[in-house]
A and B are shown apart, each in its own frame.
Chain A
Amino acid sequence: MSNVRLVWRKSLNVVMLTLTGVAAFGVVSILFLILGYLIWNGGRSLNWDFFTQLPKPVGETGGGMANAIVGSLKLLFLAAIMGLPIGLMAGVYLAEFSGKALSFVVRYTADLLNGVPSIVIGIFAYTLVVLPVKHFSALAGGVALGMMVIPITVRSTEEFLRAVPGSLREGAMALGASKWRTIATVVLPAASGGIITGMLLALARVAGETAPLLFTAFGNRFWSPGWNQPIASLPRMIYDYAIAPYDDWHRQAWAAGLVLLGLVLLANVGCRLVLNRRGMTRGV
């Protein structure tokens, strides 16, 4: 009688443990399926034209997405100059200056901002930048992406500053340096590698965002000079081309997907390897 129960328990053990392993490897294999599928489909359609030419008019085959690649870079640049300084300084405040209550509030708010759906950030940027001037612009897209960069940068900056050993701070203070000098000349340089990697990760994350750009940067099939006009971006192009009914556009969507995923994964692998070697991955 008890023997039957033992056999049942042992086989349940084996079955369930095997299932957990299958689940883990199953999920990981999705990454390789995505990569493989994109390389297979995108690699065939990737050519030099993709990087150098403008999109062709509807109905003509060929052409590329040069404007979208430049557009994405411009949007990232705007996001970086708007989001990174705020994130960095707020991170310094949290790690070095703040008292307990206020730092909890700021940290919690940053987490909430991080969790706001990207489409809602898009609406916010629309009401802030697009509504007053009544037209879509690269600037509005940059504002939307910049706001998404801030919370990620804050948390990673704070994390890396806190990882700097207290003895370094004490050493500088003992030599008579004031607190801000200690931070600027000792603590920040010591944490700079981690902080910069965290910033790169933040930019890599917003580089693939489409939803906040739909009605801020909008999109453009031509070059967009300056910062005040609608501008094309790689993720938006993938979306437009994927839902269009033309085979040639699907082909280009795959190529763009491969380029975008390649860049995002490359940035992620590089940064995470650097961070892993330093043993700091939490919070990023």
Chain B
Amino acid sequence: MPSFRSRSRIKRKRQSLRFNSVSTTATTIDRAAPPEAGPRTFIRRLRDGDEVAHVITLVFAGVILLITSLLVYELWVNSHLSRAKFGLLFFWTSVWDPIFNNFGAAPFIYGTLVTSAISLIIAVPLGLAAAIYLAELAPRKLSDGIAFLIDLLAAVPSVIYGLLGIFVVVPLVRTVLGPALKSTVGHVPIVGKLFTGPNYGVGFLTAGIVLAIMVVPFIISVSREVLLTVPRDQREAALAMGATRWEATWQVVVPWARTGVMGSIFLALARALGETMAVTMVIGNDPKISASLFAPGYSIAAVIANEFSEATGDLYLSALIELGLVLFLMTFILNGLARLLIVATERGGGHPS
């Protein structure tokens, strides 16, 4: 009996407490908003501060648009000298001569494209396979754990990749991988051309390998997300038809998600094109177009990184900024496409209907 009474007393106390708190908030709210009836008109919202808050946050959102358009504007205006002098020839000539003010971007564009292509050739099969494992085979807990570690891998600063590139990957290519490729693929008629010539360790191949390691986390995490959105009955139907696990995955699940997977590849490509530090540290920094993947080369981002702060003369600086503009446009287009593809798949429109 006494216990019951005490409990009821506590209950009453709690109620009174709650009542008190409600009444205090009610009074403050009363003061803030007089009890007028009727719809919240514009004037009312203005007086309450809603419109002011709206405009203030809108201004900050506008800052983002402003920054981005200013970025394009500055790149365009500051590359004016170079665009006026070289025109489209800028992209086709391969002379880079700051002394005589002759600038052609071909070697850099070539280097950027070749290293990105190598990185995708390595990273796409690797990333897709890992994503398939994480989405289709691994138990959910293990899959989440590995995805967590892969997110961490994506967070490693690029200069750290460059550091390991210089001291680990370069010696590895020079002493182990290079000779191995030369003695095997090097003798094949046409493809062999890619693996001939002196091998210093720095060059297109090394840069491509380092880039592959850097972009693979992006392919894995985005592809995994997309594969996980594929409806379960798709798999079950394939398995019920007698398909093996692999056949169900490769012939049903992956085609269903292919737009999203393409999106992840575009995203990875955009990152590979724009990556600066790691490439600068291992590509060899030599503005030449060579067929051999062992040869040292140069990339757009690397030449900007190396020469921008030492560029003497307006035309020199303008040519470097035009390279920046080229890089911006490449990644701009790829990123735009990638986002559209990923959004399209996650909304369920990615399957062949």
Binds B, one of A54-62, A191-199, A220-228, A268-276: A268-276
Interface of B is mostly: helix
Chain B positions 112-162 with a Cβ under 8 Å from a chain A Cβ = 125-127, 129-130, 132-134, 136-138, 146, 148-153, 155-160, 162
State whether A93 touches B146 (Cβ < 8 A): no
State whether B335 touches A112 (Cβ < 8 A): yes
Chain A residues with CB below 8 A from B166, complex form: 242-243
- Tally of A interface residues using CB under 8 Å: 94
- Give the contacting residue for A96; candidates B57, B71, B148, B277; CB below 8 A: B57
Who on chain A is nearest to B71 by CB? A124
Answer yes or no: A108 CB below 8 A from chain B CBs: yes
What is the total of A-B residue contacts with beta carbons within 8 Å?
281
Interface of A is mostly: helix
A9-B275 Cα distance, complex, nearest whole Å: 41
Chain A residues with CB below 8 A from B63, complex form: 86, 90
Chain A positions 197-243 with a Cβ under 8 Å from a chain B Cβ = 204-205, 207-211, 214-215, 218, 235, 238-239, 242-243
Chain A residues with CB below 8 A from B188, complex form: none
State whether B163 touches A254 (Cβ < 8 A): yes
- Give the contacting residue for A13; candidates B159, B168, B244, B274; CB below 8 A: B244
State whether B324 touches A12 (Cβ < 8 A): no
Answer yes or no: B240 CB below 8 A from chain A CBs: no
Q: In the complex, what's the smallest C-beta–C-beta distance from A171 to chain B, in angstroms?
A: 11
State whether A211 touches B33 (Cβ < 8 A): no
Q: Residues of B at under 8 Å CB distance from A?
A: 25-26, 29-30, 32-33, 35, 45, 48-50, 52-54, 56-61, 63-65, 67-68, 70-71, 74-75, 78, 125-127, 129-130, 132-134, 136-138, 146, 148-153, 155-160, 162-164, 166-168, 213, 216-217, 220, 244-247, 250, 267, 270, 273-277, 281, 301, 304-305, 308-309, 320-321, 324, 327-328, 331-332, 334-336, 339
Beyond A177-B29, A208-B159, A210-B159: 6 further Cβ-contacts under 8 Å?
A: A20-B130, A20-B132, A23-B126, A115-B267, A117-B328, A124-B70
Q: List 5 A-B contacts (CB under 8 A).
A: A24-B134, A27-B130, A94-B61, A177-B33, A239-B159
